[in-house]
Structure 1
Amino acid sequence: MKSIKILSLFILILTFLGCEIQTEAKTLRLGHGLDVSHSVHKAMVKMGEDLLERSAGKLKLEIYPSQQLGTERECLELLQIGSLDMTKVSVGVLENFAPKMKVLGLPFLFRDRQHSFNVLDGPIGEMLLNEGEKYWLKGLGYYDAGSRSFYTMNKPIEKPDDLIGEKIRVMESATAVNMVKALGGSPTPISWGELYTSLQQGVVDGAENNPPSFYLSRHYEVCKYYSLDEHTVLPDVLLIGTYVYNKLNEQEQKWLNESVKESVKYQRILWAEAEDEALREVQKAGVEVIRPDKSLFVEKVKGIFEGYKDDKEIYPLIKQIQETK
């Protein structure tokens, strides 16, 4: 009788532990390189809150900002081997892992911001998100990163010829390198985390990025000229490793995708506010904001598009994007 009681107690404990294990929350670790005041980080925080609520505590998000877990490229590599669950990278970096993504880095590809949203939220954007799956990277959504423009230390960029002889920091992106070359500058790939020091030490004469990144990075302390040529509309992409995503059940995937979708909407609102604030603040700090004639820059980069005429994957994609309403 005593042994039966012990056995029953043992079975009860195992059952209890089994329930605990079964209901224990899954945690997704998300690493990125942005500051906590950035709209993308704030949108990720909202995503985590929504995910926790939707899943009734079964799925959690842990966020590691400010390159705590490495650069964008390093985080992508961690995703590929399953050592990190999620990350956010610029399309410019992702093109090294998902080649079709380079189409989004082409200068003056979009007519305006709404045109870019129509493309990214439609079938073309969806197709590109899935482009990285063969490299163990699944795209979940696009965060708005506005338009990228040049900022420099020593002189304003009012026309393409002003870039001649200027060393301009670019991402590790062949498309970005080709664009700066076409405009007359000398492209210099440097990681985002090292850029402030590189500007201070004169390793480069300037860089190119959107207004909130220019402001939040404090690069305006070194670069006093910001030329709004708005050459590229380059979104950020939220990704998850395919190994991790495929381990989630159908319900968990649904919770995650819904939370991502809501965070994208929220971030676009925050981004518009952040752009206005950034331009106001850098001008208060003594930065001269220049609005050059964009047509001069558009003319200079036409050769880049011509160079894709024989590319049977990218050139048709360019045409599809240009024809999207």
Structure 2
Amino acid sequence: EDAYNLKIRTTGSDIEIALYGEWGIGATPMAWQELYTGMEQGAVDGVYAGPVPAFTNNFTEVAKHATVLTLSFGPSVRLMSGQAVEQLGGVDGELFQAVMKASRESEQIKREMNEKEVAEVADKMREQGVSVYEPTAEESEKWLESSRGIVPQFIGDGKTISQDLYDKVQAIGQ
């Protein structure tokens, strides 16, 4: 309810605009490089961004409130050519499996480092006088539940994201 009718900067993507609509937030497309001035002048009330870029771009100078939401995750993608897979002994090969294991482990390490960095940035924001709010598990679930409302618009045959791809990503998340 606190975010209702706020104007939040969006990239302009259809999915992001629909998501903001589900949340009752006014999606306001704006280029990243215009955001600081847009917040300073009141063209937008805020931004949905990672804490680290928000901090390193000095948004704490023009916004004195932050909410830490864990609604999205930026995965790393590692691509390998068919020739490289063959050189590693194929998908069942010992070397290929070792590379895949190392990739999964490095992703977990990256995730842990990111969580630590987000906590450190939240502390730095507080030091600069920003009120940092971290929702309870129940509040976070409300955000997630509301977010699920846009799934039928974008997921399925002939839509932005195929049902098969969506199901695979959901399985990975579990």
1:314 to 162, 167, 171: 162
2:149 is matched with: 303
**Alpha-carbon spacing, 1:184–1:290, altered in 2? closer, same or farther (3 Å):** same
SS in 2 for 1:300: helix
Q: What CA distance in whole angstroms lies between the structure 2 residues aligned with 1:309 and 1:272?
A: 29
Q: What CA distance in whole angstroms lies between the structure 2 residues aligned with 1:270 and 1:233?
A: 13
1:121 is matched with: none
2:52 is matched with: 212
Give the gaps of 5 or more residues in structure 1: 1-160, 239-249, 251-260
Which letter maps to 1:211?
P
**Alignment check: 8 A CA contact 2:10 2:29 kept:** yes
**Alpha-carbon spacing, 1:272–1:301, altered in 2? closer, same or farther (3 Å):** closer
**Deviation for aligned residue 1:300:** 1.5
1:172 is matched with: 12
Q: What CA distance in whole angstroms lies between the structure 2 residues aligned with 1:277 and 1:163?
A: 25
Matches for 1:193-232 after TM superposition, within 5 Å: 193-232=33-72
Q: What CA distance in whole angstroms lies between the structure 1 residues aligned with 2:77 and 2:29?
A: 20
**Alpha-carbon spacing, 1:231–1:270, altered in 2? closer, same or farther (3 Å):** closer
**Deviation for aligned residue 1:273:** 4.5
SS in 1 for 2:68: strand
Which letter maps to 1:168?
I
Q: What CA distance in whole angstroms lies between the structure 1 residues aligned with 2:25 and 2:77?
A: 27
1:289 to 123, 132, 150: 132
1:56 is matched with: none
TM-score (norm 2): 0.70
Q: What CA distance in whole angstroms lies between the structure 2 residues aligned with 1:237 and 1:286?
A: 36
SS in 2 for 1:311: coil
**Alignment check: 8 A CA contact 1:308 1:315 kept:** no
Which letter maps to 2:148?
K
**Alpha-carbon spacing, 1:230–1:271, altered in 2? closer, same or farther (3 Å):** closer
- Rg larger in structure: 1
**Alignment check: 8 A CA contact 2:51 2:68 kept:** no
**Deviation for aligned residue 1:286:** 0.9
**Alpha-carbon spacing, 1:237–1:215, altered in 2? closer, same or farther (3 Å):** farther
- Which string of whole-angstrom CA distances, capped at 9 and with x for unpartnered residues, describes residues 140-176 of structure 1? xxxxxxxxxxxxxxxxxxxxx2222110001232211
Q: What CA distance in whole angstroms lies between the structure 2 residues aligned with 1:235 and 1:219?
A: 24
Give the gaps of 5 or more residues in structure 2: 79-83, 85-101
**Deviation for aligned residue 1:303:** 1.8
1:280 to 101, 118, 123: 123
Structure with bigger strand share is: 1
1:323 is matched with: 171
- Which string of whole-angstrom CA distances, capped at 9 and with x for unpartnered residues, describes residues 249-293 of structure 1? x9xxxxxxxxxx99xx59937644532321110011111111221
The share of aligned pairs that are identical, in percent, is: 25
RMSD value, Cα: 2.9
- Which string of whole-angstrom CA distances, capped at 9 and with x for unpartnered residues, describes residues 88-121 of structure 1? xxxxxxxxxxxxxxxxxxxxxxxxxxxxxxxxxx
Matches for 1:83-162 after TM superposition, within 5 Å: 161-162=1-2
**Aligned residue pair count:** 144
Q: What CA distance in whole angstroms lies between the structure 2 residues aligned with 1:167 and 1:237?
A: 32
